[in-house]
Structure 1
Amino acid sequence: MQSYIQYRKIGRVLRQQFDTDHEKTIPLTDESRTVSSAGLPEAAIETEKAAASSQVMGNRVTSYAFNAVQVREKTMLDGQMQQVFIVDWDGERDPANPFNFSTIRRVTATLIVAAVAFVVGMASSIDSAVLSQASADLEVSEVAETLATGIYLIGYSAGALFAGPFSETFGRNMVYIATLAVFSIFIMASALAQNFALQMVFRFLAGFFGSTPLVCAGGSIADMWDPLEKTYGFPIYAIASFGGPVLGPVFSSYVGAPWRWAEWISLITSGVVLTIVVLFLPETYAPLILKWKASHLRQITGDARFKAELEATHTAFWTRMRIALSRPFVMALEPIIILMALYLTVLYIVLFTFLDGYTFIFADVYGISGRLADVIFVAMFVGMLLASALVHPLLRLTKKHMEKVLETGGSHIEPEIRLWFAILGGSISIPISLFWMGWTDFVSISIWSPIIASTVFGYGVICVFISAYMYIIDSYEVYAASALAFVTLLRYASAGGMTVVGISFYKNLGTHRTLTVLACISAVLVPSPYVLYKWGYLIRQHSKHAVTRK
């Protein structure tokens, strides 16, 4: 609905602009096909030079009804050359450009995208609070039932490969709506599944279609926020969306006997979010908006030569799909991608193994109910919220960095500046919190000790996630979607497997040893953001796809 209103508004503005300026037309003769710029606004002079032979109507040419049109020669299928008029933004302040949306509108759109990520993230972990009920009803072991989470995450990893090219063809909005609707259908099917096999199939498909925000959300943020603004724009999304997998068990902790209500909760929540997306989320993919603009211009003028860049350089959808499916694996050879994929994969293995252990850490040691142990997940989310305190000081730091870049003749922020979230305690907080919890998880020590440790863990996880994603996006720019697709594929496939073996770790090694092992694994990766901050530019110099600006 919102994107349709947006589409109609663009057409209405162009029609008004054309009707207002229609009388300012200049005779176009065969002898003279130049247009004088006398009396025209300065912004239109360059347009007139380019558009002198553009839109012909009754042997007259519109003087400056449409400012941002570039004339280009294009080879047609029959080998003939034809002029096309490439439609661009109407100046730097074009209100149709998502960068020029009001701050409130951009924040709202970011939170809506975060809500989509929250819903699909919540569905990944919501079944973990009803393992015993579900396993008893479906007549499988609790270890087998953990596949409800594991297979969902594996579906995530597979679906991430397809989300990018679809969003670049149909736009962000349509992909969010379509995939969230199909996701809801398979969540409902999971709730109605009468046996374990059907539950696994439907959970995988729900994860497959729920993977869209994992790849497209970064694009949506980049659509609306410039490099400086992303310093606070992306954390808004990350902190809000990361609450999904953390708070999922909280929402289902008191479901009780009809375990299927865990899925119904996911379905109800996704229905609410889907309604919000349909009604309030604008389209932010610039090439599609320009395609809308070109379509309106063709209708208004009757001239089929108005094209958007997306149309003028049209590549078959299946060709883009083939490239999109192969490029993530090409990106796997990039040094930065290897390091970041390893870092995030280990982090997600630690995270989902850690999530498996809440019952062992709190219920078994302190004698509280499993349901109350699931509620303690809130402490981890509190830690994520604390990371927002870094946004303002890092925004000031980024501004100073940008000023230095501009003074030296540069124009873009160096990607390494994005690593400050991880550097400022993010990476070190993860092993510290795990050691802390592992060595103080005794009945003789207050339960508040492991609770506070989980808060520190939440802070560390979100800081590393923000740094890793923003660093990859800024390092690879046009290839960022492919880079993120590979990282997503690897980390969720690995995390999906760990959800099955995690419970066995806690049962066989105990909470103290399991948490210590996880702490040691995460400690090995603590130097990663510091190494990249110091030598990241040198690493990017040896990359085929990463940007280098110094």
Structure 2
Amino acid sequence: MDEEKLAPPSAGAATASIDVALSALPDVDPSSPAHPIHWHPAKKWSITVVYSLLQTFVALSTTTFVSAEPLARARYDSSTQVVALGQSMFVVGTAVGPAFLGPLSDVGGRKWVYVGSIAAYALLNVGAALARSLAMLVVFQLLAGAAGSTAVTNVAGTIADLFGDADGAAQPMALFVVSANYGPGIGSPVGQLIAENENMGLPWVFWINVIIGGAFAVVLCFVPETLPRAVILEAAKKHGSADGSDAAVLEPRVDLLREARFVTSMAFRIMLTEPVVAFLGIYNGFAYGLLFLYLDGVFDVFVVNNGLSPLSADLTFLNVVVGVTIMFAFVPVQTWFYKRDRGRNGGVGRPEARFLTSLLFVWGFPVSLLWFAFTCDGSVSFWSPVVAGGLLGFCDPLLWLAMLNYIADSYTNVAASAIAAFLIPSFLIAAACCHLGILMFDNLEAKWAMATLGFVSFGLVALIYVLYFFGARIRSWSKLARKH
């Protein structure tokens, strides 16, 4: 491969560059008997559940530290904003990791990327537990976030390996979204329990990650590889023969570092040149950031205004768990609408049809936030803002799932890179929200802090409607997006 082909292409050369990337990582014929798509459903779902639990565990780390921040302030004698770097840098790490771990798993296989990165995650938490200064803690959190991001980066790809087309993968992908939301919902109460236990303290926030992360690293050694190319190659070697698609897979791979570098650059190129992906990433960052903004307001809303204990206040965050569970049960309804739309469109699925139910439920963002804002002052039962948060816990994951499917449908040739391009700004904005929330609740009443977020979220409503009605036209201007 020439260096010229590895250089960032001009708009006119974009299609040729994509062809280079695809030739480097050729598709595998799904009709091959060894393809993971043909494995027994019980085996496929077992693998999906294991990796979803991994996602829950890593996502839990994003909020466990928040409840233990008072311990960190006392231990390191620092301000709230400085201590919050321990959380925000972890989130920044999850933004950096996908740009490298995703391409690495596409080139060499997913299994050992999982094992190696989660083992590294466990070891890095040892450093966080033993950190002698806040700066050391922040650095270890940043690196741990990057290592742990494999759960975000690769689980969606693993599901695609196992279930193939978007219809077959709809419910497993919904389980992935559920697992990503269970972790933060559980993490805050867990952090509070650790903070209140006199025999544990701040280091145990990280020692628990070491224990569970180490156990996962061992278990994942026994989970089979799912990257189709690697699986078919292994099957061909085992049987001593190869034909058809297997022959293509067995072709020697050269310059793997160059190929990984190219795929990595594609993620950043899409982020900078594809407005659809960029805007979805920005607004998903806002939606993800609500998680941390909510946590920053828990004390004011439920302890100060409603008289709950700190642990009881953190338990209100389980409304997210309830909301996302209901979302998982609702996904077949969206799948039915999508299939009906495809039938009416001559059998061709429109990416915009992924937003059919979101046209209604995206209104849940401003409604739930304004509902929360104007009932959180203690004048009514605390159950009112709890239920409002539960509504957001339903609408947010449903829209996130729609965004993931929309991007995968629109950028079929570079789907992994497009999703990475979508996630990078999402996590960076969420990291900023870790600090923005502190400022908002320090300088505004809880009511007006949440109301401000509610008014801003009307922009998200507008974005979804623009994509639904004008998405096909916008895709026609792109050199990368699917046109039909």
Are 1:348 and 2:288 counterparts?
A: yes
Task: Map Cα deviations across residues 413-441 of structure 1 (whole Å, 9 max, x no partner).
Answer: 2222222352241x211211110111111
Are 1:264 and 2:202 counterparts?
A: no
Are 1:327 and 2:266 counterparts?
A: yes
Selected match of 1:393 from 320, 333, 357: 333
Change (3 A) 1:276 1:424: farther
Q: 2:181 aligns to what? A: 242
Q: 1:465 aligns to what? A: 400
Q: 1:289 aligns to what? A: 231
Q: Secondary structure at the match of 1:110?
A: helix
Q: 1:418 aligns to what? A: 354
Q: 1:316 aligns to what? A: 255
Map 1:65-84 → 2, pairs under 5 A: none
User: Is the CA contact (8 Å cut-off) linking 2:181 and 2:320 kept in structure 1?
Assistant: no
Change (3 A) 1:404 1:262: same
Amino acid at match of 1:451: V
User: Is the CA contact (8 Å cut-off) linking 2:118 and 2:217 kept in structure 1?
Assistant: yes
Are 1:478 and 2:413 counterparts?
A: yes
Shift of 1:112: 1.6
Amino acid at match of 1:414: R
Q: 1:510 aligns to what? A: 445
Q: 1:428 aligns to what? A: 363
Q: Distance in 2 between matches of 1:216 and 1:184?
A: 18
Change (3 A) 1:524 1:443: same
User: Is the CA contact (8 Å cut-off) linking 2:358 and 2:398 kept in structure 1?
Assistant: yes
Q: Secondary structure at the match of 1:312?
A: coil
Q: Distance in 1 between matches of 2:54 and 2:360?
A: 29
Tell me, which stretches of 5 or more residues in structure 2 are unaligned? Answer: 1-25
CA RMSD of aligned residues (A): 2.4
User: Is the CA contact (8 Å cut-off) linking 1:287 and 1:309 kept in structure 2?
Assistant: no
Q: 2:42 aligns to what? A: 104
Shift of 1:206: 0.2
Shift of 1:267: 2.6
Selected match of 2:220 from 259, 272, 277: 277
Are 1:190 and 2:128 counterparts?
A: yes
Are 1:442 and 2:377 counterparts?
A: yes
User: Is the CA contact (8 Å cut-off) linking 1:156 and 1:207 kept in structure 2?
Assistant: yes
Q: 2:457 aligns to what? A: 522
Amino acid at match of 2:323: G
Change (3 A) 1:295 1:347: same
Task: Map Cα deviations across residues 146-184 of structure 1 (whole Å, 9 max, x no partner).
Answer: 111101011111111101221012211111111111011
Shift of 1:478: 2.6
Amino acid at match of 2:266: R
Q: Distance in 2 between matches of 1:305 and 1:439?
A: 64
Shift of 1:296: 3.4
Amino acid at match of 2:248: E
Q: Distance in 1 between matches of 2:410 and 2:227?
A: 20
Q: Secondary structure at the match of 2:193?
A: coil
Could you tell me the percent identity over the aligned residues?
Answer: 26
Shift of 1:121: 1.0
Structure with max Cα Rg: 1
> Which segment drifts farther, 459-468 or 337-346?
337-346
User: Is the CA contact (8 Å cut-off) linking 2:377 and 2:446 kept in structure 1?
Assistant: no
User: Is the CA contact (8 Å cut-off) linking 1:227 and 1:413 kept in structure 2?
Assistant: no
Q: 1:219 aligns to what? A: 157
Q: 1:233 aligns to what? A: 172
Amino acid at match of 2:47: A
Q: Distance in 1 between matches of 2:245 and 2:466?
A: 49
Selected match of 1:252 from 187, 191, 195: 191
Change (3 A) 1:174 1:490: same
Change (3 A) 1:218 1:447: same
Q: 1:494 aligns to what? A: 429
Shift of 1:88: 6.6
Q: Secondary structure at the match of 1:368?
A: coil
User: Is the CA contact (8 Å cut-off) linking 1:184 and 1:271 kept in structure 2?
Assistant: yes
Q: Which has the higher strand share?
A: 1
Selected match of 2:466 from 524, 531, 535: 531
Q: Distance in 1 between matches of 2:290 and 2:399?
A: 13
Change (3 A) 1:277 1:189: same
Shift of 1:389: 2.9
User: Is the CA contact (8 Å cut-off) linking 1:421 and 1:466 kept in structure 2?
Assistant: no
Q: Distance in 1 between matches of 2:118 and 2:233?
A: 24
Q: 2:113 aligns to what? A: 175
User: Is the CA contact (8 Å cut-off) linking 1:357 and 1:506 kept in structure 2?
Assistant: yes
Tell me, which stretches of 5 or more residues in structure 1 are unaligned? Answer: 1-85
Would you say how many aligned residue pairs link Structure 1 and Structure 2? 453
Q: Distance in 2 between matches of 1:251 and 1:514?
A: 26
Shift of 1:323: 1.1
Q: 1:144 aligns to what? A: 82
Task: Map Cα deviations across residues 518-537 of structure 1 (whole Å, 9 max, x no partner).
Answer: 11111121122222122211
Amino acid at match of 1:282: P
Are 1:203 and 2:203 counterparts?
A: no
Q: Secondary structure at the match of 2:265?
A: helix
Q: Distance in 2 between matches of 1:235 and 1:387?
A: 8
User: Is the CA contact (8 Å cut-off) linking 2:278 and 2:425 kept in structure 1?
Assistant: no
Shift of 1:514: 0.6
Q: Distance in 1 between matches of 2:227 and 2:245?
A: 19
> Which segment drifts farther, 413-422 or 135-144?
413-422
Q: Distance in 1 between matches of 2:236 and 2:245?
A: 6
User: Is the CA contact (8 Å cut-off) linking 1:191 and 1:261 kept in structure 2?
Assistant: yes
Q: Distance in 2 between matches of 1:88 and 1:166?
A: 18
Q: Secondary structure at the match of 2:356?
A: helix
Change (3 A) 1:276 1:541: same
User: Is the CA contact (8 Å cut-off) linking 2:63 and 2:191 kept in structure 1?
Assistant: no
User: Is the CA contact (8 Å cut-off) linking 1:295 and 1:307 kept in structure 2?
Assistant: no
TM-score by length of 2: 0.88
Shift of 1:304: 13
Change (3 A) 1:304 1:106: closer
Q: Secondary structure at the match of 1:337?
A: helix
Q: Distance in 2 between matches of 1:364 and 1:371?
A: 13
User: Is the CA contact (8 Å cut-off) linking 1:214 and 1:488 kept in structure 2?
Assistant: no
TM-score by length of 1: 0.78
Q: Distance in 1 between matches of 2:227 and 2:357?
A: 27
Shift of 1:449: 0.6
Change (3 A) 1:183 1:421: farther
Are 1:92 and 2:28 counterparts?
A: no
